[in-house]
Amino acid sequence: MYIILIGDELLEGFTQEKNLFLISNFLKKFKKRLPSKAIILRDNKQEISKAIKDILKENPKIIITTGGIGPTEDDLTIESIANALNLKLIKTEFQTNVEKYKFVIEGFELVYNPKGKAPAQIGYYNNTLFIILPGVPYEIEGFLNETKIKEILLSELEEGDEFLIVKTNGIYETQLREILLPYYDKLGFFGYLPRNDGVYLKFKGNREKLRKIRNFLSELLKDYIWGYNEDRIEELVGNFLKERNLKIAVAESFTGGKVSSLITSVPGSSKYFKGSIIAYTKEIKEKILNIKAKNIYSKECVIEMAENVKRLFNSDIGISTSGVAGPDKDDNTDVGTCFFGISYKENYAFKFQFSGDRVNIIEKGAYFLLFKLYQIIQMPTA
């Protein structure tokens, strides 16, 4: 299967490409074979036609295109494909106010757009199934989930490998590799996927193989694994707090509200989230949170912040952040040096060094704190 992503804006950096991610995840959900290749093309009739002709020489089972089927002059995908296949465009009685949407490639079928206006087109050329989709991600989701395209696409695809994503935090990618290196033969080929919420390990294979890998790693990496596959740390934390009727409050400095944003992104978070304070300056830390620590970049400071925000909001748990997100060091503290406090039945403080730009350091810090919180609230004595 080939995916052709069409649009000048993708190559010029005006639009972030999301459709390959969306289509591949749709196929993974149904455990189907994933695309073998994907290319990005300009809105250029000659380039699109040539690419189609070249790909057809490989006798692909499926070609999916996204983008370039709108109402304007630079939307050239339909006529480019018709040209490549040497087929006519036929005017139909399709109900639309846009004249261009009434034309379908000879032998193909128009499919109503449940989320927008531009219809998709679907049809076979020799033994190749063509699925011609718009470029808007949520409209593609509509076609894949709410139209006949879903059944046709899934019926054409063979079963694919299953995936296991092991999600870790609190450890660098290089450190993970050192731990796993002696077991490479046992684990087989896998990938490292650094993310702001940690480092993922990606495995694929049959269900039994993945079960054994998961069981093995759950013990080997028990101090770092926080979830698998579709797990989100903010949801895991939220579900745990809700089940135990625990309330939480947050005091944030360098994360600037990101921790609170993650917590409240989960539906039902009002059942456990009491509120937060963004104590960004030393003055606010001292006046609002009554911090006595002289060094705001210290474990002593974040413990005070966590304790005092817990007391201020009358919550069961208080958590806090303080650090330097950059771009410049502050008070002789290097960029990426971050401190985290958790006050629950006991007090905990952590220091971690992050890399990346300002936005990445903020996100990594927020996820790291939720990871440490998830570890602590699951402890047998917690």
Q: What is the per-residue pLDDT for 195?
A: 97
User: Nearest 5 degrees, angle CA 62-CA 68-CA 70?
Assistant: 120
According to DSSP, the β-strands at 62-66 and 128-133 are: parallel
- Asked which of 200, 228, 256 is the last residue of a domain, the reply is 228
Say yes or no: 191 and 273 in one domain: no
Residue 119 DSSP symbol? P
Q: What is the pTM for the complete model shown?
A: 0.86
Q: Please give the order of strands across the beta sheet that includes 191-195.
A: 191-195, 198-205, 162-168, 225-228
Whether 382 maps to a domain, the answer reads no
Say yes or no: 183 and 146 in one domain: no
Where residue 202 sits, what CATH number does that domain have? 3.30.70.2860
CB burial string 232-261: b at 16+ within 10 A, e below: bbbbbbbebbeeeebbbbbbbbbbbbbbbe
- Asked which of 178, 208, 228 is the last residue of a domain, the reply is 228
Whether 93 maps to a domain, the answer reads yes
Q: Which residue has the tokens 């949170």?
A: 289
β-pair partners for 123 = 130
Say yes or no: 300 and 258 in one domain: yes
Say yes or no: 217 and 303 in one domain: no
Give the pLDDT means over successive 10-residue stretches in the chain (382 positions). Answer: 97 96 95 95 97 97 97 95 98 94 97 96 97 97 97 95 96 98 96 98 95 98 97 98 97 98 98 98 96 97 98 98 96 96 97 97 98 95 60
Say yes or no: 22 and 146 in one domain: yes
Say yes or no: 279 and 183 in one domain: no
Q: What is the per-residue pLDDT for 380?
A: 82
Q: Please give the order of strands across the beta sheet that includes 2-6.
A: 37-41, 2-6, 62-66, 128-133, 120-125, 109-111
Say yes or no: 8 and 88 in one domain: yes
Q: What is the per-residue pLDDT for 382?
A: 56
Residue 207: give the domain boundaries.
162-228
Whether 95 maps to a domain, the answer reads yes
